Amino acid sequence: MRKTKKLKVGVAPDSFKGTLSSLGVATRIEKGLKKAIPGVSVVKIPVADGGEGTVQAIVESTGGRFAKRTVKDPLGRKVKAEFGISGDGKTAIMEMAEASGLALLKLKQRNPMKTSTVGTGQLIKAALDLGVKKILIGIGGSATNDCGMGMARVLGVKFLDAKGRSIKDCGGALKDLDRIDMSGVDKRLAKVHVEVACDVDNPLTGKRGASQVYGPQKGATSAMVKQLDASLKNAAKIIKRDVGVSILKVPGSGAAGGLGGGLMAFCGGVLRPGIDIVMDSVQLKKRLKGCDLVITGEGRMDGQTVFGKTPSGVAKVAKELNLPVIAICGCLGDGVHAVIDVGIDAYTSTLEFSIDDEDIQKYGPDNLENVAEQVGRIIAVGRGL
């Protein structure tokens, strides 16, 4: 065998949901590689795609910390919510679901006529109080349909009816909205860049809008859906007139019951695919420079992986640097071969033997490390040929 230079591997996986965080996955892969390739250098970069695990991934990748606040849940009750602060203290990373998510409500409590994004506004205000310069917010899993009205009121926006009275902070009250007063909006928002992780392209209203597509899963009846849709249309008209921002037909404005549009209008938010926000936030391209190979992965890889999931995002960045990419995943599903077309050169599963769901946490991490070791051995063989 010929002598080869020291290998440097970038390890940038998503979490294996219910088993390991993205950092935990990267650490197990690192251990496996080091068993197989003496002297290998590993750059661990926890990543995510804007969904579950994103806050933790960015915090871990940047050496940041978590902050907890008591805020209002979708029905106005007190709840503890957590958000992240990047290592340099300049960026806040949060999920609206922490404060305004559907998972906070029991099935019988779901009612988008009554729920509100007030808690999300409280998280944003808490981030502003910490002096951040950027806010990254994921808006999946909402229980709300208020166009971000509750969120915006916390930040100083006034929502008034035809008699100049404040309307309630809930989706059902939007039908009474007649005027928006922005004179008291928190001035700090003008100095903060807000990016919204949004992976759906639903407009605010209509057949593909917030109310008709997502309303029923939030507890809306057919009659409620019609009223909520009409209310959002009314809100969009008044936002365009009083705020000067057109959100009605913007792809993604209907995400989270119109919160996507609300963040655009009231916070100057920019809607971006979650995977792009994460890749930029963890400086993936910069940290992969100088690597010889990239290993990524996720809990389940299948045909949907190519649509903005972590491995496809990592592969895109890696190919810009002309780096080969291997994916190690918890399991493989239908259509998985499509990932080859988006830059993943090879993939494998950690399932060395059949595992029942209840045993995944017990055996999964060790299996991952073992498979990473075998991947390392294959790489070592290839380098020695």
Q: Is the dihedral of CA 189, 152, 243, 246 positive or negative?
A: positive
| Residue 69 near residue 81, CB atoms below 8 Å | yes
Per-residue pLDDT, 212: 95
385 pLDDT more than 70: no
- Looking at every residue in the chain, the average pLDDT score rounds to 94
Work out the average pLDDT over 61-85: 97
Looking at the DSSP bridge assignments, the partners of residue 300 are 331
Work out the average pLDDT over 296-315: 93
Per residue in 342-354, pLDDT (tens digit) is 999 999 998 765 5
Work out the average pLDDT over 223-250: 97
Q: How confident is the model at residue 112 (pLDDT cuts 50, 70, 90)?
A: very high
Looking at the DSSP bridge assignments, the partners of residue 9 are 42, 293
Per-residue pLDDT, 356: 58
Per residue in 199-209, pLDDT (tens digit) is 889 999 999 99
What percentage of the chain exceeds 90 in pLDDT? Answer: 87
* SS3 readout for the chain: CCCCCCCEEEECCCCECCCECHHHHHHHHHHHHHHHCCCCEEEECCCCCCCCCHHHHHHHHHCCEEEEEEEECCCCCEEEEEEEECCCCCEEEEECHHHHEHHHCCHHHCCCCCCCCHHHHHHHHHHHHCCCCEEEEECCCECCCCCCHHHHHHCCCEEECCCCCECCCCHHHHHHCCEEECCCCCHHHHHCEEEEECCCCCCCCCCCCHHHHHCHHHCCCHHHHHHHHHHHHHHHHHHHHHCCCCCCCCCCCCHHHHHHHHHHHHHCCEEECHHHHHHHHCCHHHHHCCCCEEEECCCEECHHHHCCCHHHHHHHHHHHCCCCEEEEECEECCCHHHHHHHCCCEEEECCCCCCCHHHHHHHHHHHHHHHHHHHHHHHHHHHHC
Give the lowest-confidence range in 184-188, 245-249, 286-290, 358-362: 358-362
Q: How confident is the model at residue 357 (pLDDT cuts 50, 70, 90)?
A: low
Question: How many whole angstroms separate alpha carbon 176 and alpha carbon 178?
Answer: 6
Per-residue pLDDT, 105: 96
Per-residue pLDDT, 199: 87
Per residue in 125-134, pLDDT (tens digit) is 999 999 999 9
Per-residue pLDDT, 1: 40
Which domains are assigned to the chain? 8-47+285-384 (3.40.50.10350), 54-275 (3.90.1510.10)
Per residue in 174-184, pLDDT (tens digit) is 999 999 999 99
Per-residue pLDDT, 360: 60
89 pLDDT more than 80: yes
13 pLDDT more than 90: yes
What percentage of the chain exceeds 70 in pLDDT? Answer: 95
Higher pLDDT, 300 or 191: 191
Per residue in 18-69, pLDDT (tens digit) is 789 999 999 999 999 999 998 999 999 999 988 888 999 999 999 999 999 9
Question: How many whole angstroms separate alpha carbon 43 and alpha carbon 45?
Answer: 6
Work out the average pLDDT over 258-272: 97
Per-residue pLDDT, 343: 97
| Residue 179 near residue 160, CB atoms below 8 Å | yes
73 pLDDT more than 80: yes
